[in-house]
Structure 1
């Protein structure tokens, strides 16, 4: 009898172990799928060697101040750097050897764009979408080891993509079991005490991250304690204003950047006592009253702010008419895993911003329109205050969150910023010089000694920000991608996506 008990116990244990292993791999596969990891790789991801030496002739070059163009300029590019800029430069290297000449045809040469708030997740094909849209730098705001690996591959020339500034995934505080699950499936850095958070920050610095991110769900105690350890580790602290924190806490937390203007709207909402569709006018008055003082304090503390206006502006449409919202965006370039999944989804039945059927009662459409319309208005008011006080604004899109298509979303963000009151030169600075200064990277200007991350436009973006889309060529680390090549990158991504779809999206195109 004892043998049978022993056999049953062993069999039960083996069954449990096999079940646990099966569940583990099933969850891992599902997580990989929903973050876009199962999508077929595009065929143009392989990197290229730098073109060693060439002269870009007859360009209109954006001046260092970013407010006008210098006509008839030649730009000498060698080994990924801008070597010389001037009129009628000789097409010879220092040894007198002739170098190739590329005719810019009088087009407008500007620094490559930076999207200061993106989520690559596991969607490697997005790297090509950024380049095809002139985005030569991105700040990955939920970075994990794979993104550090991609960064190394890009830096070595083995992978084609924009330069990556990798912010470690969010620091967050949850209970033990919930923290285990969220840390596993959402790849967050779960911390429970200031001491543990300090140790984690040191680990992240050693791994090679550029910054650490506060989430909405990190405890106030940890939030206020983590700034100094981050600074000592050589990392910037940026991200959200935690829900447990207030605006005074922000100014005491040594946070150098806030990842959304929306974060200030949320903080003011908490101070206001709760904004609803019924008290929207009162809330807007509250924002107008305290906005100037808030902007002064943000400026005094040297805190930069990422914009993410376009996504907030899209909420009303996504909630009321998701079909029309999808029709307005090039979703054929979206990773199908992200587009179709129930967790990250964009499509009508899974859209993360949809209004559930149980709430679609009475005057729900009117309430949604009022609430989210005022919400967007509040962030636009704050943007105007920040700009007027000289707060550094960094153009960012929250790319890969519905309905922000990587690369394409930045041009939509530019238009949202202009609509909110910024001038075209101010917007261009927010995607070039401002983020370069914040990251302390040698990009953001067309200047000798700077990295040759550039965009050649057919039209003048200082006159009309829509000209940001008129891309003739992109230069990434000196490597020139002409219009034909950029179109090939886009087609490569679209083809990979089409081969990976489980849902027909033709009705949204």
Structure 2
């Protein structure tokens, strides 16, 4: 009898173990799908790279100051670098020439806030949109591999890889959050130090504080960043105040929105009823915050269009989805998953910004007022930052709803123009300023710079919308003409369509 009891017990344990392993494998595969890793890889057919030595001739070149174009220039490119810039009397030598007559050459664009996750087709979308550098704000080992492959010639933007963001949770919740959200879970200063050492050794370019890092962890992360001479960027944790930011080594804040949250904490938490009082408080504090940013040499990344979309996604999601270039968004990400409470979903049934089921009309109206005030608060801060001269980096939070990689940077630049930035200031925010912050050797058309460039049909200093009039993208010296760029886009659209399991909304 005892033998049978033991056998039954062992059988139950075996079944439970098989169930646990099966559940783990199912959830892990579902997470890979959600992050875009199971989408069919795009396979574009583009012209062979051929020679890397050539000259662009008869082209208008953006001046190093970024405020004017220098007409009729010759730009010589050899081995992926800009080797010489001259006027029409300069001979390019015995190398092929590409005629840029009537067109405008600008540095390649940088999106300073993206999430690559596991959606490798996004690399093609960035290049097709003239984005030759991205700052990936939660990089995984696969993204480091892509970075190396791009340096060896794979088509894609240069990647500035920020390590998985630091957060503080208890043991059980931390294990789950670290798994499904790819966060670095820390509860002690020793854990912070050990993680930082590992990330530095693995070749990450920066560290990121998350909203969920506790105050002791933030202080320890700031100290470790200084010790290892690696930048600290990201959110303002909910556990800290602005005085903690000023005392830290953090050199960039990942959204203008983060200051809305920080001031809301100072205010004591606003509601629809106190929104106007909160906005008055933000106006009162905004210039002082901007001045402290400058005093401590802290940059901020914009993400204006994302935050402006929050109330629109709640109130009229279908319009937002049909206006987005949704056909290019990785379907794993847009379709999301229901297995976690914080998926990546875009579509109506999984959208992370949608109103909860059953929210009545009165509460919807109050929610809309709240989020409209939230967006207005970020614009008040943005205007103060712009007026005072805070370095502003153009960034989109790409792959967060409804920011399609590559396309979203042009939408962000339009939003920056609508918010009061001049086209020259916007170009700087997407070229020279991020290149300086990331020390990437790009961002300016000058001898010795890496040849990451965009050739435009229209003048972006007249209207920033001209950044979409792309005729050619040069990435690492490799020239991709309009036919090549269209091939990149077509290949991604085809791969996405082959992988889609849920229909996407289309304009009527």
TM tier, shorter chain? over 0.9
Deviation string for 1:432-482 (max 9, x for gaps)?
A: 000001111110000100000000011111110111111110000000010
**Deviation at 1:508?**
4.5
Q: Which of 160, 166, 170 in structure 1 is aligned with 2:155?
A: 160
Deviation string for 1:285-339 (max 9, x for gaps)?
A: 1111110011000110000000000001111211101111112111000111111
Contact 2:423 2:460 in 1 (8 A): yes
**Deviation at 1:47?**
11
**Deviation at 1:48?**
6.7
1:170 aligned onto 2:165: yes
**Deviation at 1:236?**
0.6
Deviation string for 1:157-198 (max 9, x for gaps)?
A: 1x2100000001110000000000111111111011111101
In structure 1, the partner of 2:432 is 433
In structure 2, the partner of 1:243 is 238
Pick closer, same or farther for the CA change 1:124–1:48 going to 2, 3 Å: farther
Q: Distance in 2 between matches of 1:422 and 1:179?
A: 41
Deviation string for 1:472-493 (max 9, x for gaps)?
A: 1000000001011101100000
**Secondary structure of 1:357's match?**
coil
Contact 2:45 2:487 in 1 (8 A): no
Pick closer, same or farther for the CA change 1:242–1:47 going to 2, 3 Å: farther
1:42 aligned onto 2:38: no
In structure 1, the partner of 2:274 is 279
**Deviation at 1:86?**
0.7
Q: Which of 305, 321, 329 in structure 2 is aligned with 1:326?
A: 321
Aligned counterparts, 1:8-407, within 5 A: 8-44=8-44, 51-88=51-88, 89-92=90-93, 98-157=94-153, 159-342=154-337, 343-362=343-362, 364-407=363-406
Mind listing any 5+ residue stretches in structure 2 that lack a counterpart?
338-342
In structure 2, the partner of 1:95 is none
Contact 2:57 2:99 in 1 (8 A): yes
**Secondary structure of 1:42's match?**
coil
**Deviation at 1:341?**
1.6
**Secondary structure of 2:25's match?**
helix
**Deviation at 1:46?**
9.5
Contact 2:58 2:73 in 1 (8 A): yes
**Secondary structure of 2:135's match?**
strand
In structure 2, the partner of 1:453 is 452
Q: Distance in 1 between matches of 2:360 and 2:196?
A: 44
Pick closer, same or farther for the CA change 1:122–1:47 going to 2, 3 Å: farther
Q: Distance in 2 between matches of 1:57 and 1:236?
A: 39
Q: Distance in 1 between matches of 2:309 and 2:399?
A: 14
C-alpha RMSD over aligned residues = 1.5
**Secondary structure of 2:272's match?**
coil
Q: Distance in 2 between matches of 1:47 and 1:368?
A: 51
**Deviation at 1:35?**
0.8
**Deviation at 1:156?**
1.1
How many residues align? The count is 502
Q: Distance in 2 between matches of 1:39 and 1:233?
A: 37
Q: Distance in 1 between matches of 2:239 and 2:4?
A: 56
Q: Distance in 1 between matches of 2:368 and 2:413?
A: 23
Q: TM-score, normalised by structure 2?
A: 0.96
Q: Distance in 2 between matches of 1:459 and 1:310?
A: 24
Deviation string for 1:99-118 (max 9, x for gaps)?
A: 11111123100000000000
Q: TM-score, normalised by structure 1?
A: 0.96
**Deviation at 1:50?**
6.9
Contact 1:118 1:141 in 2 (8 A): yes
Mind listing any 5+ residue stretches in structure 1 that lack a counterpart?
93-97
Q: Which moved more, 1:353-362 or 1:33-42?
A: 353-362
Deviation string for 1:256-288 (max 9, x for gaps)?
A: 000000000000001011111111111111111
Contact 1:141 1:168 in 2 (8 A): yes
Contact 1:51 1:80 in 2 (8 A): no
**Secondary structure of 1:223's match?**
helix
Contact 1:277 1:370 in 2 (8 A): yes
Q: Which moved more, 1:39-48 or 1:124-133?
A: 39-48
**Deviation at 1:9?**
3.5
Pick closer, same or farther for the CA change 1:45–1:233 going to 2, 3 Å: farther
**Deviation at 1:424?**
1.0
Q: Distance in 2 between matches of 1:44 and 1:208?
A: 30
Q: Distance in 2 between matches of 1:310 and 1:26?
A: 35
Contact 1:224 1:252 in 2 (8 A): no
**Secondary structure of 1:205's match?**
helix
**Secondary structure of 1:6's match?**
helix
Contact 1:333 1:494 in 2 (8 A): yes
